Structure 1
């Protein structure tokens, strides 16, 4: 009898283990089924957006995204579900959105998103909210309905901006593209995408940074450089630079931009467009004095502005007998530091590029820029390009640059 009881208990234990195993498999199968169902809803949502079918989009949940994206010319839009987190009456999902703007993005832009989902009693899933994931930057349509204006060489997307204002940006960009092409050449896309958020806070949201980082900055350019991602910006009339994101965008700070005069506004858009054009050959080998100085040099071409007008901080330093002894370093371009020092860094880079154009010629300046970038790594890149393209040494170049400062600003 005791033996039979032991056998019975053993059988019960085995049955319990089997039931537990089946329950685990059922839980996994249920989760997989839920993921598949949610992914199906997201696929329908993407198809409706691309097909301009608002009714089909609304059938998958909130229609706010459709309304905000209606005017954006999308070439592609896909969701990839990466996580599902049930919790009470709602479920949270992690997803990647990959999209391309028609005529401007050669590869998809990827945005990390957090979705709030709800499931009805009959088992259907709906998207209740779609927002940027934690620590991810916003997309322009997160800020409201996007308006689009096409130019001959440009597309301007804006939120909270009048049509006249967006058309003005398009005219400036359309002037900038051929101006850059005339100097840099045709080996780039020769069009530019400009984003105009509602305010400085909107700009900061797109860049995923505090608004204080961009106060007084007229615009920045985002884009992945030829071999890596890099960043810089400028807090003066031609506030400009490159920010770490995977697609070419000129992002305007409408608050600071509105304070510029006509010449300043054109300089900003031309400067930013230069960053778009030179992106493919701008690598970690390229010092910021060269990339920012070259963009400023093209930006100011034909404006009639004198050296003193473009480089007022360096002019003061030269007048006071404190002219810099060396070209600005990358650290000098940190916009979190001293504003005067930063302005002098940009002015010094501009004068270095202007000096190359004056002494060796504009064509040689472009060749020098490309030669530096082809190295890929910083060590030896500038030195080799100085020797091979300009026939000089770092010491000789720096000495000539110091003399040029004194002659132009003295």
Structure 2
């Protein structure tokens, strides 16, 4: 029996007409508004730009290219071509949300907040600032000199997405390799930290080192293979964490190195290390390396080669590495990670893995010495740790 209900194609057509109508109406308002007086949040011109961006945002989620491009002034072919490229990228991503909202408008330049999240992975949105130039017939360009957009994974060219069992990898480069590695790492992380985490993550693979630096908040990733981070949102809201893979350092890793690095970074995601400002860094990084190296078969003197040379020469560390020891400019950065890893492994071997996990959780809510005393029964593990280093690295 035939139904009078509209089929999917008719529904899409009606929605496209509604979106196009909204864009046309907004463009009409813009054409009728002059920019002489300083615009306010409620003036007609700002309202028209708001309506334009709302319709454009709806077009992104509906994957409606004509409606998306209807917001662009056809007299600007260069900008139109760039917007076609942007739409192609966004349409290929599994977006759960996409919003462009007006933060301010001076009559020709709109400061815009963009927000997006990935379906099945994000419980919070990534919020960034962008700039769009607006004319009587729609959008005419980006901000230009002095008004740079916040960096996005698609800022430097086309990207694709690969979805694994427990991850989404977005960018350019070895996406399948990273996705496979994260899928292998997820059960290993869960085996240590438990199931009380999302058990999935989003990884970004930038185009090049400059792109990686921009996405990492101007942090140089040339010697860092990957980084778990939650760059600050433009509106101050809690951001989702991302694993950022270095396009420069990643290719230099061995298969074992890639396994350890991805498991390490996924451990940071599992324990929400990006938002942790209280746990001492030796425990944050050492715990992640403990999970990363667990059951890897890596020999101690190979995995901690730099520290092993020092210990063999009789240069034992006198204290656990402090916060500054993990700075990218630290001359003993490798040794600091190795010291932290072996401290955590010693705790797990001496007191049990559950005690190490309990210590990590306790140190997030109380001072380091109190956490050590409450969980391990002693506030000073340095003598035992020094003996452990001597035994395993001499």
Instruction: Using structure 2 for the length normalisation, give the TM-score.
Output: 0.82
For 1:285 and 1:31, the matched residues in 2 are separated by 43
Name 1:216's counterpart in structure 2. 223
State the structure with more CA Rg.
1
SS of corresponding position for 1:304: coil
Equivalent of 1:276, from 255, 269, 272?
269
- In the alignment, is residue 115 of structure 1 matched against residue 132 of structure 2? yes
Alignment of 1:86-97 (within 5 A): 86=107, 91-97=108-114
- In the alignment, is residue 140 of structure 1 matched against residue 139 of structure 2? no
Name 1:52's counterpart in structure 2. 63
Relative to 1, partners in 2 of residues 1:54 and 1:28: Cα closer, same or farther, differing over 3 Å?
closer
- In the alignment, is residue 356 of structure 1 matched against residue 364 of structure 2? no
Relative to 1, partners in 2 of residues 1:343 and 1:273: Cα closer, same or farther, differing over 3 Å?
same
Name 2:179's counterpart in structure 1. 170
Q: CA deviation at 1:269?
A: 0.7
On the 8 A contact 1:92/1:117 being kept in 2, the answer is yes
Which runs of no fewer than 5 residues in structure 1 stay unpaired? 1-22, 230-243, 376-380
Name 1:4's counterpart in structure 2. none
Alignment of 1:20-169 (within 5 A): 32-61=43-72, 62=80, 63=83, 64-86=85-107, 91-120=108-137, 125-129=138-142, 137-159=150-172, 161=173, 165-169=174-178
Relative to 1, partners in 2 of residues 1:259 and 1:399: Cα closer, same or farther, differing over 3 Å?
same
On the 8 A contact 1:176/1:270 being kept in 2, the answer is yes
Name 1:203's counterpart in structure 2. 212
Provide the aligned length of Structure 1 versus Structure 2: 347
For 2:250 and 2:223, the matched residues in 1 are separated by 8
Relative to 1, partners in 2 of residues 1:76 and 1:116: Cα closer, same or farther, differing over 3 Å?
same
Q: CA deviation at 1:262?
A: 0.7
Name 2:188's counterpart in structure 1. 179
Name 1:239's counterpart in structure 2. none
Instruction: Using structure 1 for the length normalisation, give the TM-score.
Output: 0.79
On the 8 A contact 1:148/1:155 being kept in 2, the answer is yes
Deviates more, 1:255-264 or 1:28-37: 28-37
On the 8 A contact 1:198/1:254 being kept in 2, the answer is yes
Deviates more, 1:329-338 or 1:352-361: 329-338
CA deviation string 1:53-86 (max 9, x = no partner): 0000010123232122221111111122111134
Q: CA deviation at 1:149?
A: 0.9
For 1:281 and 1:214, the matched residues in 2 are separated by 17
- In the alignment, is residue 385 of structure 1 matched against residue 366 of structure 2? no
CA deviation string 1:377-397 (max 9, x = no partner): xxxx21111111101122xx1
